[in-house]
């Protein structure tokens, strides 16, 4: 089953993307995105491809298939590219993944920097304090509006 999912992912990412098995049933896709909505389009394209191409395989063995995706850009902030390391962006993507799972599965959730809120917080508290907050207290970072959550609304996502 995991081989079918991996093959479907491989067929639906760009040749320049890096695809890796990240955990038990988790995969990591690294791709260079530049357009403002490109990561959302990619997440929805992958979600639909997995469901369309792998659901029959899971149905044959009497199992249902759900797919949840957590999406974060790296660098996290365009204004402050050094704000979060790769590892911290991965932790945010993992947090977004579990947010998608907890919101009902078969969906994606994307975390983005709220650049205006980050700018204000950095001017007020300094970059090190904002970095610490993003890394150590995600809940408070959300409460302060430093992280925006974009959730899947399929009707709003247009295929590439």
CATH number of the domain that residue 139 is part of: 3.30.70
Rounded Cα gap, residues 135 and 133, in angstroms = 5
pTM attached to this predicted model:
0.84
Domain of 134 in residue numbering reads as: 2-156
* Helix (H), strand (E) at residue 68: strand 68-72
Of residues 153, 74, 154, the one with CA closest to residue 112: 74
C-alpha dihedral over 111, 113, 118, 122, to 10 degrees?
90
Percent share of the chain, pLDDT over 90: 48
In the three-class reduction of DSSP (H, G, I as helix; E, B as strand; rest coil), residue 148 is classed as strand
Rounded Cα gap, residues 36 and 31, in angstroms = 14
- Kindly report, residue by residue over 60-117, the tens digit of the pLDDT: 888 888 888 889 988 999 999 999 999 999 999 999 999 988 988 888 999 999 999 9
Number of domains in the chain: 1
């Amino acid at each position: 089953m995991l081989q079918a999912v991996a093959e479907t992912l491989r067929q639906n990412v760009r040749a320049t993307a890096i695809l890796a098995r990240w955990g038990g049933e988790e995969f990591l896709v690294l791709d260079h995105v530049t357009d403002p909505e490109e990561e959302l389009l990619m997440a929805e394209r992958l979600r639909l491809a997995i469901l369309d191409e792998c659901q029959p395989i899971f149905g044959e063995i009497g199992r249902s298939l759900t797919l949840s995706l957590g999406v974060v850009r790296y660098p996290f902030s365009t204004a402050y590219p050094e704000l979060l390391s790769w590892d911290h962006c991965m932790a945010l993507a993992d947090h977004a993944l579990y947010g998608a799972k907890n919101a009902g599965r078969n969906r994606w959730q994307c975390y983005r920097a709220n650049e205006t809120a980050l700018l204000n917080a950095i001017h007020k508290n300094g970059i090190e304090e904002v970095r610490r907050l993003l890394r150590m207290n995600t809940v408070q970072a959300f409460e302060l509006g430093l992280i925006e959550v974009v959730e899947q609304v399929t009707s709003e996502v247009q295929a590439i």
